[in-house]
Amino acid sequence: MPVEPKEAQEWHDVDAGLLKATIRPRGRPAILRGLVRDWPVVQAGRESPQALSAYLKTFYGGLPAPLFEGHAGINGRFFYNDSLDGFNFESRRALLSDVLDRLQHDLGNDSAPALYAGSVSIPIYLPGFSNANNLRSLFSVESSVIESIWLGNRTCIAPHFDNTENIACVVCGRRRFTMFPPEQISNLYVGPLDLTPAGQPISLVDVRNPDFTRFPRFADALAAAEVAELSPGDAVYIPALWWHNVEALGDFNALVNYWWRDVPDYFGSPSMSLLHCLMTLKSLPPQQRRDWKAVFDYLIFQSEGPALEHLPPRVQGLFGELTEAKVDRIRSILLKSLTRKAP
């Protein structure tokens, strides 16, 4: 029998100092118990789904938001179709007020469609919400933070990873996060990278009912996994690149999350370097790939310490400390390379 994943370590009374000095350096998920228990939106959710809906509508500006909808037969699992060339749900835009009304109407209805309004920008769709429900004290003033809200019924979002750090706060309902270290990617059976449900690659394994005959190595991923069971007011910290499966366990669920990076906004996304490597490195002979790996280990990953320390900083050039001016120059070089026609 596969090993059951262990529970993520739990922390209480978390503040910016504890998060920065102790929790994040571990490089592992952490349950932040009761982190947002005093938020007004959490209090409204504890009262009733109707009270929560009424509270959210006081901030809603009326813009249609992204919505996923699938028939009841998908069991809340927003996923691919059987041939992996499409999806088992429809995506469109809808008024959040209508979504909230439908969630209320379908309470207790097992045959209701699966609804999922995900990654809804709080500043755009719910202006003023963050002033009343504030977690900004956890982040440094230099951090560029993206705030989103997620609404739905009983849903299951397949394992995926984010390029950013993540804190997810349960407002209403219950959530189960099953999280996998980045090095488990080969045991997660990743689906098509060119066609993804919401932008990020996902695992093909149904975490709720894994098929170990089809996906035998997933047993090793489960042995390395950590689980967070969250109630209203609780939160979970998920380090960047940790895969996470997210189950919403109630008929009415709301979650607020924060994505952020510890680098300036002018830094590019690491995902873009993967695409560039596809056309420059992946098809090289094996020995050349190994040789380039040594170059990357030294200059980029700096596996044995800072690179080019033998050079004065003034002559380290683009490979020295990165600045916005250097980023602009790098972009210019890449653009020129990418737009040049092959001979």
Task: Give residue-wise pLDDT tens across range 55-90.
Answer: 999 999 999 999 999 999 999 999 999 999 999 999
Residue at token pair 């098929």: 211
Give the domain ranges of the chain: 6-261, 270-339
Cβ–Cβ under 8 Å, residues 208 and 178? no
Q: Tell me: pLDDT of 343 over 70.
A: no
Percent of the chain with pLDDT over 70: 98
pLDDT one-digit tens code per residue, 226-235: 999 999 999 9
pLDDT one-digit tens code per residue, 230-270: 999 999 999 999 999 999 999 999 999 999 988 878 888 88
Burial class (CB in 10 A: 0-12, 13-18, 19+), 151: buried
pLDDT at site 141: 63
Cβ–Cβ under 8 Å, residues 161 and 200? yes
How much of the chain is helix, strand and coil, in % rounded to 5?
Answer: 35, 25, 40
Which pTM value belongs to this model?
Answer: 0.92
Average of pLDDT values for 42-55? 97
Q: Tell me: pLDDT of 1 over 70.
A: no
pLDDT one-digit tens code per residue, 121-160: 999 999 999 999 999 889 876 668 999 999 999 999 999 9
- Range with lowest mean pLDDT among 43-47, 113-117, 163-167, 334-338: 334-338
As a whole number of Å, the end-to-end CA separation of the chain is 56
pLDDT at site 143: 66
pLDDT at site 142: 61
CATH number corresponding to 6-261: 2.60.120.650
Q: Regarding predicted confidence, which is higher, 324 or 117?
A: 117
Amino acid at 134: N
Q: How many CB atoms lie within 10 A of CB 277?
A: 13
Which residues, 6 or more positions from 226, have their beta carbon under 8 angstroms from its beta carbon? 5, 6, 7, 8, 28, 29, 178, 179
Q: Please give the backbone phi and psi of residue 199, each rounded to the nearest 5 degrees, phi first.
A: 110, -30
Q: Which two tokens stand for residue 30?
A: 């952490």
pLDDT one-digit tens code per residue, 297-333: 999 999 889 999 998 998 989 898 889 888 889 898 8
Decide: helix, strand or coil at residue 236. Answer: strand
Percent of the chain with pLDDT over 90: 80
pLDDT at site 340: 78
Mean pLDDT estimate for the chain = 94
pLDDT at site 26: 97
Q: Which residues of 231-253 are buried (b: 16+ CB within 10 A; e: fewer)?
A: bbbbbbbbbbebbbbbbbbbbbb
pLDDT at site 272: 85
Residue at token pair 């809603």: 60
pLDDT at site 128: 96
pLDDT at site 82: 95
pLDDT at site 164: 94
Q: Tell me: pLDDT of 7 over 90.
A: yes
pLDDT one-digit tens code per residue, 167-202: 999 999 999 999 999 999 999 999 999 999 988 999
